[in-house]
């Protein structure tokens, strides 16, 4: 058996520059690196959950230029120049909960919590587009997110409560 003495070469990388939760980030990344892994592993944003890695569960949802994206389906290099918001970016000064997070907490809209950051981010997008959604609009807006625990009713109630808070304009520590 011959020994392979081919020199090992480093995989190629590309430089990207993007905004993550308001901070400018520049990095050298492999072209194959998923945005979810870049955010979670390289930026330490553990609120980006990785479940199915096939675009099915929605646990990895982040906002890319204000639009909900399943970050397991996007490469980090595709996010070059974009503005990314993860669930960590929704909290206010000193870690104060965003009104959506408050609403999830108050309505017991989570059990194991694995899906929750994806739902919170998806709710942020939903309420930006429709500040007063009815139940059908909520179910439709969150249809790309899966929860194995809650049965969804409390999640839908949380979205309704978050919409009420945004309407009142006076609850929670985040940016509403």
Q: How far is the CB of 54 from ligand FES (least distance, A)?
A: 6
Question: Using CB under 6 A, which of 23, 66, 112, 135 touches ligand FES?
Answer: 112
The string of DSSP codes covering 114-151 is TTHHHHHHHHHHHHHH-SS--HHHHHHHTTT---SSS-
Select the residue interacting with ligand FES from 113, 132, 135, 143 (CB under 6 A). 113
Identity of the residue, 145 or 176, whose beta carbon is nearer to ligand FES in the bound complex: 145
Minimum distance, C-beta of residue 11 to ligand FES, in the bound complex (Å) = 23
Say whether residue 68 binds ligand FES (CB under 6 A): no
* Residue in 29, 63, 72, 120 binding ligand FES, rule: CB under 6 A: 72
**Count of residues near ligand FES by CB under 6 A:** 22
10/21 Cα distance (integer angstroms): 30
Contacts 24+ apart (CB under 8 A), 101-106: 101/172, 101/174, 102/162, 102/165, 102/171, 102/172, 103/158, 103/159, 103/161, 103/162, 103/165, 104/155, 104/158, 104/162, 106/158, 106/161
Using the rule CB under 6 A, is 142 a contact of ligand FES? Answer: no
Binding site for ligand FES (CB under 6 A): 50-53, 55-60, 70, 72, 110-115, 147-150
């Amino acid at each position: 058996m011959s020994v392979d003495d081919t020199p090992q070469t480093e995989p190629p990388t590309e430089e990207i520059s993007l905004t993550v939760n308001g901070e400018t980030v520049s990095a050298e990344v492999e072209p194959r690196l998923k945005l979810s892994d870049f955010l979670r592993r390289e930026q330490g944003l553990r609120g980006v959950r990785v479940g199915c890695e096939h675009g099915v569960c929605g646990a990895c949802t982040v906002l890319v230029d204000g639009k909900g994206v399943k970050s397991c389906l996007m490469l980090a290099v595709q996010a070059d120049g974009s503005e990314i918001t993860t669930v960590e970016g929704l909290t206010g000064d000193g870690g104060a909960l965003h009104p959506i997070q408050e609403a999830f907490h108050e309505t017991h809209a989570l059990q194991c919590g694995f899906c929750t950051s994806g739902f919170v981010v998806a709710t942020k997008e939903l309420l930006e587009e429709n500040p007063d959604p009815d139940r059908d609009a909520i179910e439709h807006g969150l249809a790309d997110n899966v929860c194995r625990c809650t049965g969804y009713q409390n999640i839908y109630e949380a979205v309704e409560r978050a919409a009420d808070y945004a309407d009142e304009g006076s609850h929670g520590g985040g940016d509403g």
